[in-house]
A and B are shown apart, each in its own frame.
Chain A
């Protein structure tokens, strides 16, 4: 309001212009530009400084190709992968809430003096325990020749001489674990909830290429930490399973399944009722949906293990991935079967599909073949691959999955990592803020009304957190539709059936084909999905947060 209008406009422009120019060039302009590009056949391979070919306006052709045309086999498959990876969203949101509730419980001592005292005591006890852990595990001067270590060390190629060495290292390792454990307890007691919040938050802060590289080593089938922990556990389970009558496990698996289905059915009925009648208390609906989804997935996994059913239906493609020689064999047999095909291109595809699932490979091979060749190609590719041999249910009993190398486990591996990184991230902080904003009087009133802990959660905490949950769901869905590129690029290089829509966009636009028009169309299809999902979220969210 200060100064004349003309002068104000001039001053405002001086402040705004640096940003506005960049904004128009790199944000607002490109949005419209992108919409236009998606309607053209713009491809860097056709339209570059060496070529004068004009960019043609092709209308909806790119969209048509994606959704029903020649690209649709890829598009729908990658859409499926994207949705699979989004399974992690409800689980990690539930996890974030759980972590926030745990932190918010303020179970560690609050008064500074007690905090320090408890911390110091924990530190002293920890040091003593650590010391004795070292004393107890450090090997004596002469290793017992009957030790099981002997067998183990022979297995990993150690000589007798290094037997002692292994024992010593294990002792150090054990001592180290004890020390870290004690330190965490002590720090947790001294610093309190901020310590836990910090530790939980760090993974999400670091969720980038360096951390994905690290998780890649964790997921190694042999020599990776995860399977090193999983193997002995699975052995134990295997022993239990084989020493129990089979029918019991069938019965347990079927019972779990039945319970899950009944629960899901009841939930759906009440949920639909509530949505239809805009009934009060519907806020719990989201929560129960997430809960049931989690439970269905868990039940599925447990059931699958117990019944030893093939995992085809959910995890797709019950085949091992193809190695280089197998893809070459496919290429050769395809070349023999389709004399018109370009052998060089088939060989190139064979090289590129090393590590793919047979169905993936078949789709790639089909691009070099006549239009109706896909079914036949798939048969040939599948014939090359062995039926599923990894996973929890191979013929040899329970073995650890091959994780990133296996088309049926790689996406699950990415989901698990995603949950690990996201669970303590921004969502947890948002829930913590939400919890802090709940007026304590509400809990006091609930206490006076005689609510139990669970009822307090259902009737006070959860409804009060509904706006936070709503925000988190909206943001997670937006990120989820666009996600998966970095993880897949780093950890599987797009093999093992892990290509998501954003990875697809990269492949089309920037990696090998440079079809910018088509890439823009993919982006806009993703935008449309986000838009529809967000509208849906707002519809449901408004009904659920307004009751």
Chain B
């Protein structure tokens, strides 16, 4: 070396470090506020009287709080029915998916049978096909099976998820095979191994899949829109949109309904966040 190295950088002082951290925290907080304030604003609108909404940007707070909006919306539109439909459909889809996918995943991960890998490859291949490709033929299938404008048409097509099967199979593969061998020697049948060993051990994976299935179907809009025509079968997104397009001026009521519709996903997320975060990350690593 021609020149001895000169110490150009010294260790940052504690003050500089603290300042740096404070800047990061400030950024984190400001960003959090950009996500929180819109929702605060939505709550304010939903609590306003119809006549006060247009002034809200000027005053920043409604002159009179009107929490009864949250009741009125139920009277103005059959929101209870939409809630029931959304929960009923998403709930059934979730239950059926958990049953069919976990059983299929067991067959794919734990039983040796000829042709298994080929069938699984077929499952995998369909994951590459975008959902829009399935939309039209499924519409025809539902029409031909007489499930149009019926709960069955809303539930059954989603009850057999190839993605869910894939996810659970990957999860079950991580359970050591010696466990079910031990159970077999202990005297358990396949059904016994499935229910008492595999299901409890794959529980985190099943919860993840169930959350995905529920949230996806709870938020689903395109399919319910094209497959139903009776008002009684409307799910929340469709029902809210119909209400909005007929009573577009009633912003407080629309916001109240929209807030109510957002509550279940928020609660589910807050309660099961641990599983969901893991699941999303697992899906990427294995996928």
B240 pairs with A209, CB closer than 8 A:
yes
A102 pairs with B130, CB closer than 8 A:
no
Q: How far is the CA of A132 from the CA of B285 in the complex (A)?
A: 51
B36 pairs with A184, CB closer than 8 A:
yes
Complex interface: chain B residues within 8 A of A34 (CB): 133-134, 136-137
Complex interface: chain A residues within 8 A of B200 (CB): none
Q: Flag whether B15 is at the interface (Cβ < 8 A).
A: no
Complex interface: chain B residues within 8 A of A19 (CB): 100-101, 103-104, 160, 165
Complex interface: chain A residues within 8 A of B129 (CB): 31, 527
- Among A13, A16, A228, chain B packs the most CB atoms within 10 A around the CB of A16
Q: Choose the segment among A4-12, A71-79, A318-326, A331-339 that binds chain B (4+ C-beta atoms closer than 8 Å).
A: A4-12
A527 pairs with B28, CB closer than 8 A:
no
Q: Choose the segment among A173-181, A239-247, A381-389 that binds chain B (4+ C-beta atoms closer than 8 Å).
A: A173-181
- A542 vs chain B, min Cβ distance (A): 17
Residues 196-232 of B, flagged 1 when their CB comes within 8 A of A and 0 if not, give 0000000000000000000100110110011000000
Pair count A-B, CB < 8 A? 297
Complex interface: chain B residues within 8 A of A11 (CB): 111, 190
Q: How far is the CA of A208 from the CA of B116 in the complex (A)?
A: 38
Residues 74-101 of B, flagged 1 when their CB comes within 8 A of A and 0 if not, give 0000000000000000000000000111
Q: Flag whether B33 is at the interface (Cβ < 8 A).
A: yes
In chain B, positions 34-82 with a C-beta closer than 8 Å to chain A are 34-38, 40-42, 45, 53-63
Q: Flag whether B179 is at the interface (Cβ < 8 A).
A: no
- A381 vs chain B, min Cβ distance (A): 25
- B250 vs chain A, min Cβ distance (A): 11
Interface SS, B side: helix
- Determine the residue in chain B with the shortest Cβ distance to A450: B9
| B interface size (C-beta, 8 A) | 105
| A interface size (C-beta, 8 A) | 109
21 A-B residue pairs with CB within 8 Å: A13-B107, A13-B113, A15-B111, A21-B160, A108-B21, A156-B58, A172-B60, A176-B61, A181-B33, A184-B36, A200-B35, A205-B266, A217-B255, A218-B38, A223-B53, A482-B132, A506-B222, A509-B136, A510-B225, A516-B139, A519-B135
B residues neighboring A (CB under 8 Å): 9, 20-22, 24-25, 27-29, 31-38, 40-42, 45, 53-63, 99-101, 103-104, 106-108, 111-114, 116, 119, 122-123, 126, 129-141, 156-157, 159-160, 162, 165, 181, 184, 190, 194, 215, 218-219, 221-222, 225-226, 236-238, 240-241, 244-245, 251, 254-255, 257-259, 261-262, 265-266, 269-270, 273, 277, 280-281, 284-285, 287
**Besides the known contacts A203-B35, A216-B244, 20 further A-B residue pairs in the complex with CB atoms under 8 A apart:** A15-B106, A15-B194, A18-B104, A26-B141, A31-B129, A156-B58, A158-B55, A166-B58, A169-B61, A173-B60, A180-B40, A181-B33, A205-B266, A209-B240, A210-B236, A214-B255, A433-B285, A471-B284, A523-B133, A527-B133
